[in-house]
Amino acid sequence: MSELAEAVQALDLVDHHVHGAISTEADDFEQLISESDRPLPDGLSAFDSQLGFAIRRWCAPVLGLEPHVSPEDYLAARRELGTDDVNRRLLHASGIAHYLLETGYAADRILDLDGMSLASGATTDEVVRLESVAQQVAGSGCTAAEFAPRFAEALDERLASAVGTKTVVAYRLGLDFEPQQPSLREVETAAGEWLASGSTDRVSDPVLLRHLIWAGVERRLPLQFHVGFGDPDLRLHRANPLLLTEFIELAEPYGTPLMLLHCYPFHREAGYLAHAYRDVYFDVGLAVNYTGARAAAIVAESLETAPFGKLLFSSDAWGPAELHYLGAHLWRRAITHVLGEFVDAGEWAEADAIRVATMIGRDNARRVYGLSPVA
Amino acid sequence: MSELAEAVQALDLVDHHVHGAISTEADDFEQLISESDRPLPDGLSAFDSQLGFAIRRWCAPVLGLEPHVSPEDYLAARRELGTDDVNRRLLHASGIAHYLLETGYAADRILDLDGMSLASGATTDEVVRLESVAQQVAGSGCTAAEFAPRFAEALDERLASAVGTKTVVAYRLGLDFEPQQPSLREVETAAGEWLASGSTDRVSDPVLLRHLIWAGVERRLPLQFHVGFGDPDLRLHRANPLLLTEFIELAEPYGTPLMLLHCYPFHREAGYLAHAYRDVYFDVGLAVNYTGARAAAIVAESLETAPFGKLLFSSDAWGPAELHYLGAHLWRRAITHVLGEFVDAGEWAEADAIRVATMIGRDNARRVYGLSPVA
Amino acid sequence: MSELAEAVQALDLVDHHVHGAISTEADDFEQLISESDRPLPDGLSAFDSQLGFAIRRWCAPVLGLEPHVSPEDYLAARRELGTDDVNRRLLHASGIAHYLLETGYAADRILDLDGMSLASGATTDEVVRLESVAQQVAGSGCTAAEFAPRFAEALDERLASAVGTKTVVAYRLGLDFEPQQPSLREVETAAGEWLASGSTDRVSDPVLLRHLIWAGVERRLPLQFHVGFGDPDLRLHRANPLLLTEFIELAEPYGTPLMLLHCYPFHREAGYLAHAYRDVYFDVGLAVNYTGARAAAIVAESLETAPFGKLLFSSDAWGPAELHYLGAHLWRRAITHVLGEFVDAGEWAEADAIRVATMIGRDNARRVYGLSPVA
């Protein structure tokens, strides 16, 4: 094994964008290993995909099975072991030492920060979804005029113990939102309409979403944007990160790190933004899991124009701990393969390759989020 | 030779999107091996391209020549053998067992279904181009009020013996057409204007095109869309499959399989749609031929987020039987190379690789189009 | 070493889009090896990038240092040798025999045509930036009515000894400009507003920019367009070459070669345009330098649908002669690797590979720009 491979294997990863492992039975496992909320056509199985093949190949041995076991045998073993044991095995095997958990989606089915710490033995910190805070404030009953100050107060309270914020504006509106910060008067009007609408489950008003985003900018903690690949609740062509260009320029005076998540298939575009703008960072999480045996190609494409200090590791796992494990495992294989090729071709020094892998897998996140090294 | 390579070599392909082989002399051969309707600049030859090199490399031996013969020698041998013999050799060598022929373009120069069966020894079925049916109905003389019922009748008649429909709305309008089904009143008005225009050769009215597409949806047979790479009659940025997203959602209640053809350079976007939406399928036909030695890269990129049951083989050949042969041959080489790398890297089991190649090359088409296995 | 590798190594390149090497001290070297005009975040270095690693790997030996030296040692050696010696070493090592220099940007810091000839021993010819000519005309004092004839006169004078024109409309407006040639009346009105604005440093009026572009078209010399990757002065999604489609069609009667520069990450789109339209050519310059160890991937992707007569070599170097050297060196490595793989896989004949490398590296530029072979 090369020194690079050894170093990557031993690297105590920081997963800067991830959700909790599932806390309930995973009877809908096939649904949980797809980003789609639609069923597959009759006769097809979600196991017949890059992610499905990766689960059978790489997770099976962690559960004590042969590589490439059948889906039926895999699911049977999973049930027999039980969720706790499956979580414990896969989370420990991932080698992720620090999770930055975004807790805003379907929190009732997944482990919270303490649960994840317990199951994984890792450190956990929180990233706060801006839209969730707004929905809680609106749902708790407030007037239009109270919305902005109450949201600010609630956000500050949450951020007292959190390391970053996140927006899902890509799902609610698209990244081609009006980039300017709305006035408080506009916010009050929009809040009034939303509160009067009778349903405050989901904030989707453009003015309110922009207000949340700018509240994130003003807090100066790293602000995560969902970008690119995700579930069909978005319009992928409106989730192209280049659509954020004017917003990025408007936000420059704040110096708030803007973290572009996933980005596939626009990861080259994200790399350009990370090259062009001081505050832009990105990852190819989610895509690594869903492209499986092709993950190295995606990682390679992310290593083009972006400065190496601008790229981060994430799994974007939600639910089955297979996604946490594979996020780490496939990334380790991919980065080792890609950087190893650069070294073998005589282009990079091995020491540089190890340094870059360590930056992406751990040190960039520590620096940008201001994390303490894990003991 | 690996078991995978043997299995792919022996696979009786279903070409789910293809046109007839040329039935006349191919004196304009260089024009026929380009998607462009423009001449090349003086001094350039269409043989100096990936497709041209692939013809000299792979088709030459099928015609009894050395690999890499000069274009002049290749064309001389082609003339000497004659179109019938060239067709017979190349179509048989392709190993394509079942052609789904779209007969709507320049039918006078190419073999029809019976001609293709005879020349190839393969089974043929038909895919009906919706725009051609509309143009025939309009050209046969009808009133504005008669157009919709007469079109429906003509379409049903054609579909009695066909397996799918196709639209070239990407050429006529772009994929950013209004997604909703137009009302019959709107259709009658638009038909009236078209019929009064004096030329019914080419339907390009947005309302009429939408009517044709929705007629295809209502028939519930697989509905093919030209997407991406093609001749300069389209605007490539308006042939991005993501522009179909709202249409795809509106069509969901019908369960009609939506077949995205070619897709290059938007094949990753097509893969996302196939992942996200139950009824979306796609291929990278045409691109495989035109990228030649790079075909494996395109095939690899198509094997990322899409479920393996959603990807199909096609050649999109039209005219020279070199395109039918290379469509199959380059695809076999590409899929063997790409899946072989997954197997060699320890990511996939070889049995899975064989199964996936068989799905893409044959079984997905059989299932979606409801084809009987070929004897 | 293969015959292909030897041939590529010995190839006397024509760099069809490049700027002068720096004529002053390069104290801001880190800034000069980035396309961004923004600083990096504290603690990051521009050396931690593909370009930075390539400089340490490949330029260090040309300056007499070990491969992979530290940035500090590299910069110290650079200072000690002095700009003239660094230029001489790197420019000679590049093997570029003919530079087509675009002199319109920050000319005071870089060598002019004679300076480049002297420093490199190579032949130099000029490409004239249309916007610079317009700004000089406006700055020299003229009326609105005089602008168009004075611009025409100044342009003709410059073109008497130049081989092509260039536009940076991608920076000033985006490639989605109105494609039609404006009327002289419109130009006069727009010129009047510009001249009255008090600042003629930067032409950004849409009508005037279109007038300059069409003046370029009318001159029938190759007309270069900045496309894709560049500094943050552009909006990358508005620098997609597909947005030029209608303009390309309108310009067809003139037969003016349209040279799409850089194109990353839209190089596949550029390849499509070069396939579809007689007058379109393109390169992947700039991207080769900035993607370093990944340059072969970009070059490979540029060799898909485009005819081989439509692709050109360029470095797009500006300033540090490292960029001139690496533009050539990384391209030689990339084309040797990519075409070598085609040969090794049995897809291409080696003689064809050598011929294609020679077309891209030299002969296409000579033919399109009407250059004499260098003695």
pLDDT tens digits, A292-314: 999 999 999 999 999 999 999 99
Cα B15 to Cα B374: distance, rounded to the nearest angstrom: 13
Distances (CA, A) of A268 to A263, A275, A303, C54, C296: 8, 10, 9, 19, 15
Q: Which residues contact C19 (CB under 8 A, 6 or more apart)?
A: C101, C102, C103, C105, C110, C316, C317, C318, C319
Strands, sheet with A13-18, edge to edge from the N-terminal-most edge strand: A13-18, A96-102, A123-129, A162-167, A223-227, A258-262, A280-283, A311-312
pLDDT at B333: 98
Question: pLDDT value at position C167?
Answer: 98
Quick one: which of B272, B284, B276, B163 has its CA closest to B222? B163
Compute the mean pLDDT over every residue in chain A, rounded to the nearest whole number.
Answer: 96
Contact B342, B44 (CB under 8 A): no
Please state, in angstroms and rounded to a whole number, the distance separating the CA atoms of residues A306 and A304. 6
Asked whether the beta carbons of residue B40 and residue C278 sit closer than 8 angstroms, the reply is yes
Q: Report the candidate in C84, C90, C27, C24 with the shortest Cα–Cα distance to residue C55.
A: C90
The whole-number average pLDDT for the span B185-197 is 97
Q: Which residues of A fall within a CB distance of 8 Å from C265?
A: 268-269, 272
C-alpha pair distances (Å), A308 with each of A267, A336, A373, C40, C75: 14, 15, 20, 11, 20
Number of H helices, E strands in chain B: 19, 8
Give the mean pLDDT of B224-232: 94
Q: How many CB atoms neighbour CB C322 within 10 A?
A: 30
3-class SS of residue B270: helix
The C-alpha angle with vertex A45 and arms to A44 and A47, in degrees rounded to 5, equals 145
Over range B282-290, report the average pLDDT.
97
CA B89/CA B321 separation, integer angstroms:
9
- Tell me the shortest Cα–Cα distance from A258 to chain C, in angstroms: 12
pLDDT digits (tens, 9 = 90+) for A270-286: 999 999 999 999 999 99
Residue percentage of chain B with pLDDT more than 90: 94
Provide the pLDDT confidence category of residue C374 given band limits of 50, 70 and 90. Answer: low
pLDDT-based confidence at A25, cuts 50/70/90? confident
For position A198, what pLDDT does the model report?
85
| One-letter amino acid of A298 | I
CA-nearest residue to C242 within chain B is B237
Average pLDDT over residues B232-237: 93
Residue C251 backbone phi and psi in degrees, to 5: -85, -10
Flag if A38 and B278 touch (Cβ within 8 Å).
yes
Contacts of C270 in chain B (CB under 8 A): none
When CB atoms are compared, the residue of B276, B301, B349 closest to A232 is B276
* Residue A69 φ/ψ, nearest 5 degrees: -60, 160
Q: Which residues pair with B224 in a beta bridge?
A: B166, B259
Residues of B with Cβ-Cβ distance to A68 under 8 angstroms = 348-349, 352
- The pLDDT tens digits for B55-89 are 999 999 999 999 999 999 999 999 999 999 999 99
- Are the C-beta atoms of residues B373 and B366 closer than 8 Å to each other? yes
Summarised one tens digit per residue, pLDDT across range C208-238 is 999 999 999 999 999 999 999 998 889 999 9
Minimal-distance CA residue of chain A relative to B265:
A265
Mean pLDDT of A128-148: 96
What pLDDT shows up at residue B72? 98
Query: Of C291, C294, C289, which is closest to residue C325 (Cα–Cα)?
Result: C289
Q: How many CA atoms lie within 13 A of A21 on its CB side?
A: 29
Sort out which chain A residues have CB atoms less than 8 A from C232's CB and list them: 249, 276-277
Q: Give me the residue label for tokens 């593909």.
A: C50
| Chain C residues 307-326 with CB within 8 Å of chain B | 307-310
Cβ-defined contacts of C206-210 (< 8 Å, 24+): C206/C173, C206/C177, C206/C178, C207/C182, C208/C134, C209/C131, C209/C167, C209/C169, C209/C172, C209/C173, C209/C177, C210/C177, C210/C178, C210/C180, C210/C181, C210/C182
Give whole-number Cα distances, B79 to B25, B69, B108, in Å. 8, 15, 20
Q: Mention every residue, 6+ apart, whose C-beta is less than 8 A from residue A203.
A: A131, A134, A135, A138, A172, A194, A209, A212
Question: What are the tens digits of pLDDT across the range C237-264?
Answer: 999 999 999 999 999 999 999 999 999 9
pLDDT at A55 over 90: yes
Pick from B252, B238, B349: nearest CA to B4: B349
pLDDT of residue C373: 76
Residues on chain A touching C53 (C-beta within 8 angstroms): 347-348, 352
b/e A1-33 (16+ beta carbons within 10 angstroms → b)? eeebbebbeebebbbbbbbbbbbeebeebbebb
Residue that the structure tokens 């997944």 belong to:
A110
Query: Is B104 a residue whose pLDDT tops 80?
Result: no
Largest CA distance in chain A: 65
Let me know: does C54 contact C330? Beta carbons within 8 Å.
Answer: yes
Location of structure tokens 């960029």:
C323
Determine contact, residues B124/B116, Cβ cutoff 8 Å: yes
pTM greater than the 0.90 cutoff: yes
Mean pLDDT of chain C: 96
Determine contact, residues A283/A319, Cβ cutoff 8 Å. Answer: no
> Residue A374: what pLDDT?
59
Calpha distance B243→B249 (Å, rounded): 12
Query: Do the Cβ atoms of A307 and C43 come within 8 Å?
Result: no
Please check the confidence at residue B374 and state whether its pLDDT lies above 70: no
Angle ∠(A107,A109,A110) on CA atoms, nearest 5: 70
Q: Which of residues 32-61 of A touch C (CB under 8 A)?
A: none
Task: Report the pLDDT value the prediction gives residue A348, as an integer from 0 to 100.
Answer: 98
Which tokens go with A107? Answer: 């929190």
The answer to whether C361 and C352 are in contact (CB under 8 A) is: no
- Specify the higher pLDDT residue, B372 or B220: B220
pLDDT digits (tens, 9 = 90+) for C285-318: 999 999 999 999 999 999 999 999 999 999 999 9
- Alpha carbon distance C88, C92 (integer Å): 6
User: Which residues numbered 323-342 in A keep a CB inside 8 Å of some CB on C?
Assistant: 342
- pLDDT at position C281 is 98
Q: For chain C, positions 282-301, list CB contacts with chain B under 8 A.
A: 300-301
Mean pLDDT, range A99-115, rounded to an integer = 90
> Looking at the predicted structure, is the pLDDT value of residue C271 above 70?
yes
Partnered with residue A276 across adjacent β-strands are none
For the cut 90, the answer to whether the pLDDT of residue C265 exceeds it is yes
CB B228 within 8 A of CB B240: yes
Answer positive or negative: Cα dihedral of B63, B38, C206, C192: positive
B121: helix, strand or coil: coil
Residues A49, A52, A56, A59: is their CA dihedral positive or negative?
Answer: positive
Say yes or no to pLDDT of C277 above 90: yes
Query: Six-digit token pair at A308?
Result: 């190496």
The amino acid at residue A290 is Y
Q: Tell if the CB–CB gap between A277 and C41 is shorter than 8 Å.
A: no
Residues 182-201 of A with CB under 8 A from C: none
Total residues belonging to chain B: 375
Do B293 and C348 contact (CB within 8 A), yes or no?
yes
